[in-house]
Chains A and B, each alone.
Chain A
C-alpha cells in the first residue's frame, strides 16, 4: 500500500492539472463518464491517499486528483467510470452519491446533476 501511495503522490506532482487514474494499469482514463464517490470527497494531501486508494481498490480501482491552486493542496477522490451508453445509470449513481456534477471524459463535458 505504501508503494502505491508513493506512486499516486508522485503522479499527482507530475500532473498538477489533474488526472483520472486506473490503479491497476496505472494509465490515465480518457474515455467514459467519471462519477466521484461521496465517501472520499474532500480528501486532500498525501495523508488522505490511504483512505482514497483503499476505497478505490475495493470499488472501481480509479482515483481522481487535482491541485487546488487556491490553497496549493492536492485533492483526491475514489471514482467510478461508466461507459457513455450508461449515462442514465451514471446520473442515478451520482444522485446516490450526492454529487452535483459528473464529467464526461469522452466528450470533454461536465454534466450538472439536477435534484429529483
Chain B
C-alpha cells in the first residue's frame, strides 16, 4: 500500500468510514454517522475506487445499533435540545398515554418497553435536531 493510500484510509476513518483490504477485495464500511450524512452503496464504492481503482469493492452501508437507544438516552437528548414530552406527542404523532408508559418506572406493570422500530424512530428524530443545530452553527 502506498503512503497516499494509507493517508486516504486515515482521512476516511476520521469521518467514520473504515476501509480494509482483504486479499484482492476492498471492504468499505460506514461505521458511524459523522455529520448525519448516510452514504449509499454506490457512493461507498466510488470512494473506495478513488483510492484502489483496480480492486473489487465490497460496500457496507451504515447499520443502526438500536441497543444504544434507551429511555435514558432519549431523556438526555430531550434535555440537550430542550424538547418536552408534549413536543414528542405532537411531532412524532404519539399518544400521551403511550409516551407515559414508555417513560414509566421499571416497577410499573404497565410499562411499555422500547421496540426496535421505536428506538430507530427516536434516533432519527434527534438526528434531525442535531443536524439543524450543527448546520446553523
On A, residues with C-beta under 8 Å from B are 17-20, 30-31, 64, 66, 68, 70, 100-101, 103, 105-110, 112
Sort chain B's interface into a size bin: 20 to 34
Q: Cβ of B17: which chain A residues have Cβ within 8 Å of it?
A: 108
B117 to chain A, nearest CB (A): 27
Task: Select B37's contact among A19, A64, A66, A107, beta carbons within 8 Å.
Answer: A107
Q: Tell me the B residues contacting A by CB distance below 8 Å.
A: 4, 6-8, 10-17, 34-35, 37, 39, 47, 50-51, 134-135
Q: A105-B34, A108-B12 are in contact. List 7 more A-B contacts (CB 8 A).
A: A19-B14, A66-B14, A100-B4, A101-B8, A101-B11, A108-B37, A110-B8
What's the Cα separation between A31 and B17 when bound, in Å? 16
Contact at B134–A31, with CB atoms within 8 Å?
Answer: yes
With the chains together, A40 CA to B133 CA distance in Å? 32
By a CB distance below 8 angstroms, the chain A residues around B10 are 18, 66, 68
